[in-house]
Amino acid sequence: MKPLYLACASAMALTAAACGPRVPAARAALECPMKQGDLTRTSASSDGKTCTYAAEGGAEVTLQLVSTQGGVDSTLAAIETNLLANRLTPEQQAAAVAATGAAAGGSAASAAAADAAAKQAAADTKGLDLDLKVDGKPVDAVNVEMKNGKTVVTEGEGSTTRIDLPGIHIVANDSDDTANIRVGPVNIDADEDTATIRVRRDVRLRGEALNPEKRGLRATFIYTGGDLPDGYRFVGYEAGGPKRGPLTVAVVRSKSGGPDGEDLYPDVKKLVRKNGGV
C-alpha cells in the first residue's frame, strides 16, 4: 500500500508542476512596425535589438532591448543617468541664449526670440499646479496627518505644507516653489525650473493573469527643464518586461512639445507593452 501512496503523491506533484505558471521565453528581437500611430520608423538594427522612430511632433524615440544583468534598479538608474548627462549650469544656459542670438545676427529681435524660447522651456515645468484640500477646504502652510484613524490638520512652519497620509506624502514649499509628491507608485519632484516624474509598477506578464507573483515591471521616467543640452525640452523613458530581462525600453527626447502629465506618448507605451509582454 505504501508504494501506491508514493506513486499517487509523485503523480500529483508532477501534475501541479505542469499546471504551474511557465516562464515565458525571453524576447530575442524587437517587433518594430513601420508605423505605430503617430510614430514612423526611421531605422532598425540587423540584430533586432534596436530601432528608432520619429514622432509627428518632432520627438526622437529609440526602442531597445536592455539586459537587466546587475538588477533592474541599477539598469534603470543607468538609463536615467545617461539621459541627464551634460545638463547645463545656469551660466551655460545664459551663454547658450546669448550664442543663439549672436548666430542669428545679434539683432534685438533674435535675442528676444532666444530668450523667449528659454523661458518657454522653463515654463514647461510649471504645469504642476497643487490644489490641496482637506474636507473640501484649501490648505496652505499646514501639517496634515492621520491620528487615531482621523485626519488632523495643524498649523505648519512658514510657507511649507506637509501631508502625510496613507499612500500620500506631499511637501510643498511656496517660498522656493518646490514640491515633493509621493502618491502610490508616482513620485514627482519639482522646482521653479525643473520637474522629474518617476512611476514604477510591478505587474503580471502577459498570459499570467492568474499568477499570484508579479514577475513583470513597468516604469516611466520624465524630466523636463531648461538645463537640458542641445536644445532639448524634455527627456524620458518607458520600460516594460520581465524583471529577469531583457526589458524593452523606449528612450524619448524632444526639442518641442512635451508629454502630458505623467504620461509619455501613448504610441510609445503601446510599442513597449507589445514587445515587453506586460
Which cell is 71 given?
A: 538588477
Q: Map grid coordinates 520600460 to a residue.
A: 239
What pairs with residue 40 in β-bridges? 35, 54
Q: Where is 195: in which H helix or E strand?
A: strand 194-203
- The pLDDT, as a whole number, for residue 275 is 95
Report which DSSP code applies to 230.
Answer: G
Instruction: Measure the CA–CA gap between 58 and 255, rounded to whole angstroms.
Output: 7
Report which DSSP code applies to 127.
Answer: -
* C-alpha distances out from residue 71 to 26, 61, 76, 84, 244, Å: 16, 24, 9, 20, 8
- The pLDDT, as a whole number, for residue 113 is 42
Look at residue 245 and give its three-state secondary structure.
Answer: coil
Q: What average pLDDT does the segment 15-40 reach?
A: 76
What pairs with residue 44 in β-bridges? 51
Question: Is the preceding omega at residue 90 within 30 degrees of 0, hence cis?
Answer: no
- The pLDDT, as a whole number, for residue 67 is 95
Q: Map grid coordinates 510614430 to a residue.
A: 39
Lowest mean pLDDT, pick from 7-11, 45-49, 169-173: 7-11
Query: Taking the chain, what is the end-to-end CA distance rounded to the nearest angstrom?
Result: 48
- The pLDDT, as a whole number, for residue 91 is 74
Per 3-state DSSP, what percentage of the chain is helix, strand, and coil (rounded to 5)?
Answer: 30, 35, 35
Per the CB < 8 A criterion, the answer to whether 170 and 188 are in contact is: no
- pLDDT per position as a tens digit, 194-212: 899 999 999 999 999 899 9
Q: How confident is the model at residue 44 (pLDDT cuts 50, 70, 90)?
A: very high
Instruction: Measure the CA–CA gap between 201 and 94, rounded to whole angstroms.
Output: 39
Q: Is the model's pLDDT at 80 over the cut of 50?
A: yes
Q: What is the dihedral of CA 196, 260, 252, 27, to 10 degrees?
A: 100
Higher pLDDT, 163 or 242: 242
Report which DSSP code applies to 140.
Answer: -
Report which DSSP code applies to 213.
Answer: S
* C-alpha distances out from residue 212 to 21, 207, 216, 278, Å: 10, 12, 12, 15
Instruction: Measure the CA–CA gap between 166 and 3, rounded to whole angstroms.
Output: 55
Per the CB < 8 A criterion, the answer to whether 172 and 178 are in contact is: yes
Give the contacts of 70 (CB within 8 A, at least 6 positions apart). none
Per the CB < 8 A criterion, the answer to whether 33 and 44 are in contact is: no
pTM: 0.74
